[in-house]
Amino acid sequence: MDNLINVHSYVAGEWLGSDNNNDFMARPIFSAVTGQPIAFAGREGTDFQSMLDHGRQVGGPALRAMTFHERAKALKAMAHYLGERKEELYTLSFMAGSTKADSWIDIDGGIGTLFAYASKARRELPDATTFVDGDVEVLSRTGSFVGQHICTPKLGVGVHINAFNFPVWGMLEKLASSLLAGVPAIVKPATDTSYITEACFRMMIESGCFPTGSFQLIAGAVGDLLHRLTPQDVVSFTGSAHTALNLRSNTNILSNSIPFIAEQDSLNASILGPDAVLGTPEFSIMVEEVIREMTTKAGQKCTAIRRILVPENIVETAIEAIHGKLQKVRIGDPSLETTQMGPLASRKQRETVVAVNEQLALEAPAVLAAGQMEVDGADAIAGSFIAPTLFHCAEPDSAKHVHELEAFGPSATIMPYRDLEHASDLLNRGGGSLVASIITHDPDVARKIAIGSAAWHGRIYVNDRTSRKESTGHGSPMPQMVHGGPGRAGGGEELGGIRGVMHYMQRTAIQGSPDMIAAVADTWIPDSKTSESEAHPFTQKFGELKLGQTLKTDSRTITMEDIEHFAHFTGDTFYAHLDEEAAKANPFFPGRVAHGYLLLSFAAGLFVQPDPGPVLANTGLTDLAFQKPVSPGDSITVTLTVKRKTKRTDTYGEVRWYVALHNQNQEPVATYTLHTMNEY
Ligand code: NAP
């Protein structure tokens, strides 16, 4: 065992490997290319309780003391650190059968996910420790009792159990959400590729970007860890439906309602629209997507296309086109530049795929069978090589296996459909999938299939000649978009931007008086306490402004001349402003009224402090509502209140102001939220 990689666990700040040759918990790991042993993982006597204690008592408090923005900065710094050292991970990944292109998805894809989350968090989350979810809900007649949803980090750990096929991305995409939420993680990679995860994990620890206890690693089995979890912990699992069922049935998980996020296998399908006949760009897009999905990572992608649905009159043509391209795919040692498809991750994996292929062949004879291709630079049998197999199922209505069995390798089944309804019906027979694609240039086809099938799929990907160049691919989960799917796919969700972070937070409805809610949510809300501004707030820097600080302006009377002038100056000569009779006939207006935009402009004229100062820019306004028309002769006053502050950089921050316009009778005329960037 001396020259093999000893995959270590990282337990309560200590690296622990298997230290004797007789460790019955240590499992050998073999090269996918040569079949020779390369590593071993797992050890006796890991103290899982000390891991949980360390995460809960050391990592959790340290992470929760950081704001979302501080965690985002740490995530970004860690992404940079990994990016500078990623070559080592590429080299290791060859042994798992991944070509450079395969590893790009795993390694650069994982690092890219950290960057994407870091930047989304800085833009969409506050520089605070609590997330205020949605608007205040008024729960009483006079507004003295209101409600607000807030999200706070769970007080436990995230247990992240990952599949073998993405040893880096799988870890990083889960960590991005968990760490941003302020929840430490215990990562359990699949044993077969754990040596790659461990190498990346070592870099993460060396980077020192996150506080001690933020993440720990288990090489090998998890022992009784799941029995020790509490309702404040979260399990996030990726792997087969079989393992998911086993783990989520754990009595501790069930009896304590411990959140269990599952990303499972799925029988993803791609539909070729009836318009996409041979010779159209869409036909070639379908062939490209199928070849890419079947061969990237040798088809070991949870999102890969397993079923290809084509109009019945085009089946033979489609088979011929796919068959022609598949035959040209170069299979071989993944470290060779000419290799397009490497081996499966292990011989065990090959055995499983061969067995499933045999089942599929009972319903769908293989058009292109495994074993027909040559392997460059490696021994096809010693390594876990397998050729792509395209099955043809002529009777998909009566077939069962093709809709239910996942061959986690380069296998896919082509089948005919009669019309769009039939296509949707077949698509949905997967029982819930991660992604379905529709390859069409006809928006009507896209709409009918998407609406007919969306409830069964986590993601629907439409591609045609317009999006071809920039589309991200049927099989690529994007950090911004939901990854997961109903039923067979696990019923879970990951990624999806900030939605992913919320899986590690508890949403709580807080109810009370406006002052209480403002204090809890650390944001000013209407009817909570205000303080009159002594200096004009536009003369104060970001750090000097206080929540609830208010400016009340003088009043301004709106004249008929103002309305006329504004109408002709801007070109907005809508009848409600210029035609008394027509305006009166309108159910909303007493006669000619001022333009809403005129009111906004006059409001700015009333509250703006014109001199150069800490307000750097007006970046927009949101939540605008006009509540009452303003007639010539009415006057307006403006109240400007500091509602929320979000630090953006060391030199400036965003201030959100609640702006309320009232008429001479103190009746509300308009409200909106103004956004400005202010010097720090
Ligand atoms: P798997 O055999 O189900 O294993 C998944 C993970 O669960 C591994 O880390 C495995 O560890 C662990 N595990 C197995 N038994 C366990 C137990 N009793 N207690 C705790 N952990 C346990 O799946 P896989 O072979 O690694 O991955 C392939 C499958 O994953 C395919 O079916 C694929 O479709 C699916 N997948 C889904 C997604 C998605 O996002 N939906 C992504 C990738 C893959 P060991 O390796 O140590 O057994």
Is any ligand 1 atom within 6 A of the Cβ of residue 250?
Answer: no
Residue 438 alpha carbon to ligand 1 centre in Å: 28
Tell me: pLDDT of 20 over 80.
no
Residues 412 and 541 in one domain: no
Within-domain flag for 148: no
Q: Whose CA is nearest to atom 12 of ligand 1?
A: 190
Domain final residue, candidates 241, 259, 277: 259
Is any ligand 1 atom within 6 A of the Cβ of residue 161?
Answer: yes
User: Model confidence over 287-332: pLDDT tens digits?
Assistant: 999 999 999 999 999 999 999 999 999 999 999 999 999 988 999 9
Q: Is the dihedral of CA 578, 580, 581, 583 positive or negative?
A: positive
Q: Residue 45: pLDDT band by 50, 70, 90 thresholds?
A: confident
Locate 589 and state its tokens: 């207006």
Q: Residue 25: pLDDT band by 50, 70, 90 thresholds?
A: confident
pLDDT of residue 119: 96
Tell me what percent of the residues of the chain surpass a pLDDT of 90: 91
Within-domain flag for 238: yes
- CA nearest neighbour of 452 among 266, 271, 262: 271
Residue 51 alpha carbon to ligand 1 centre in Å: 21
Q: Residue 675: pLDDT band by 50, 70, 90 thresholds?
A: very high
For residue 437, what is the domain's CATH number? 3.40.309.10
Residues 285 and 231 in one domain: no
Tell me: pLDDT of 369 over 80.
no
Residue 444 alpha carbon to ligand 1 centre in Å: 39
Residues 243 and 330 in one domain: no
**Catalytic site includes residue 393:** no
Closest ligand 1 atom to 434 CA: 41
Residues 190 and 87 in one domain: yes
Residue 319 alpha carbon to ligand 1 centre in Å: 32
Within-domain flag for 252: yes
Residue 164 alpha carbon to ligand 1 centre in Å: 7
Please give the average per-residue pLDDT across 78-83, as a whole number: 98
Within-domain flag for 334: yes
Residues 86 and 58 in one domain: yes
pLDDT of residue 260: 97
Domain final residue, candidates 239, 259, 279: 259
Tell me: pLDDT of 372 over 70.
no
Is any ligand 1 atom within 6 A of the Cβ of residue 163?
Answer: yes
Q: Residue 365: pLDDT band by 50, 70, 90 thresholds?
A: confident
User: Model confidence over 596-619: pLDDT tens digits?
Assistant: 999 999 999 999 999 999 999 999
Contact 485, 433 (CB under 8 A): yes
Give the pairing of strands 668-679 and 615-626.
antiparallel
Q: Whose CA is nearest to atom 15 of ligand 1?
A: 243
Mutate which of 192, 218, 229, 238 for ligand 1 pocket (most atoms within 8 A of beta carbon):
238
Is any ligand 1 atom within 6 A of the Cβ of residue 225?
Answer: no
Closest ligand 1 atom to 244 CA: 3
- CA nearest neighbour of 180 among 223, 145, 131: 131
Please give the average per-residue pLDDT across 44-70, as a whole number: 96
Locate 184 and state its tokens: 């430490």
Closest ligand 1 atom to 483 CA: 40
Domain final residue, candidates 454, 484, 499: 499
Residue 618: other Cβ atoms inside 10 A: 12
Contact 486, 455 (CB under 8 A): yes
Residue 122: other Cβ atoms inside 10 A: 19
pLDDT of residue 2: 62
Mutate which of 174, 196, 243 for ligand 1 pocket (most atoms within 8 A of beta carbon):
243
- Which member of 151, 209, 302, 393 is catalytic? 302
What is the spatial distance between Cα 669 and Cα 122, in angstroms, rounded to a whole number? Answer: 34
Is any ligand 1 atom within 6 A of the Cβ of residue 263?
Answer: yes
User: Model confidence over 209-264: pLDDT tens digits?
Assistant: 999 999 999 999 999 999 999 999 999 999 999 999 999 999 999 999 999 999 99
Is any ligand 1 atom within 6 A of the Cβ of residue 494?
Answer: no
Tell me: pLDDT of 22 over 80.
no
Q: Whose CA is nearest to atom 26 of ligand 1?
A: 163
pLDDT of residue 278: 95
User: Model confidence over 385-419: pLDDT tens digits?
Assistant: 999 999 999 999 999 999 999 999 999 999 999 99
Residues 249 and 295 in one domain: no
Q: State how many domains the chain has.
A: 3
- Which member of 173, 198, 263, 654 is catalytic? 263
SS3 for 102?
Answer: helix
Tell me what percent of the residues of the chain surpass a pLDDT of 70: 99
User: Model confidence over 182-209: pLDDT tens digits?
Assistant: 999 999 999 999 999 999 999 999 999 9
Residues 245 and 293 in one domain: no
Residue 261 alpha carbon to ligand 1 centre in Å: 13
Within-domain flag for 467: yes
Within-domain flag for 521: no
Closest ligand 1 atom to 27 CA: 47
Is any ligand 1 atom within 6 A of the Cβ of residue 162?
Answer: yes
Please give the average per-residue pLDDT across 527-539, as a whole number: 91
Residue 56 alpha carbon to ligand 1 centre in Å: 25
Tell me: pLDDT of 18 over 90.
no
Residue 160 alpha carbon to ligand 1 centre in Å: 11
Within-domain flag for 603: yes
Q: Residue 370: pLDDT band by 50, 70, 90 thresholds?
A: low
Closest ligand 1 atom to 349 CA: 25
Mutate which of 43, 113, 302 for ligand 1 pocket (most atoms within 8 A of beta carbon):
302
Is any ligand 1 atom within 6 A of the Cβ of residue 368?
Answer: no
pLDDT of residue 1: 56
Q: Whose CA is nearest to atom 8 of ligand 1?
A: 190
Residues 317 and 171 in one domain: no
Residues 281 and 245 in one domain: no
Within-domain flag for 142: no
Residues 292 and 388 in one domain: yes
For residue 240, what is the domain's CATH number? 3.40.605.10
Is any ligand 1 atom within 6 A of the Cβ of residue 493?
Answer: no
**Catalytic site includes residue 494:** no
Closest ligand 1 atom to 242 CA: 3
Buried b (16+ CB within 10 A) or exposed e, 592-612: bbbbbebbbebbeebbeeeee
Residue 68 alpha carbon to ligand 1 centre in Å: 30
Distances from the Cα of 648 to the Cαs of 344, 514, 677, 680, in angstroms?
46, 27, 9, 9
Please give the average per-residue pLDDT across 74-94, as a whole number: 97
Closest ligand 1 atom to 243 CA: 3
Contact 252, 289 (CB under 8 A): no
Residue 263 alpha carbon to ligand 1 centre in Å: 9
Residues 280 and 248 in one domain: no
What is the spatial distance between Cα 315 and Cα 73, in angstroms, rounded to a whole number? Answer: 51
Is any ligand 1 atom within 6 A of the Cβ of residue 240?
Answer: yes
Residue-number span of the structural domain to which 547 is assigned: 530-679
User: Model confidence over 632-662: pLDDT tens digits?
Assistant: 999 999 999 999 998 888 899 999 999 999 9
For residue 616, what is the domain's CATH number? 3.10.129.10
588 burial type by CB count under 10 A (0-12 exposed, 13-18 middle, 19+ buried): exposed
User: Model confidence over 453-473: pLDDT tens digits?
Assistant: 999 999 999 999 999 999 999
Residues 552 and 637 in one domain: yes
Please provide the average confidence, as pLDDT, over all residues in the chain. Answer: 95
Residue 264 alpha carbon to ligand 1 centre in Å: 8
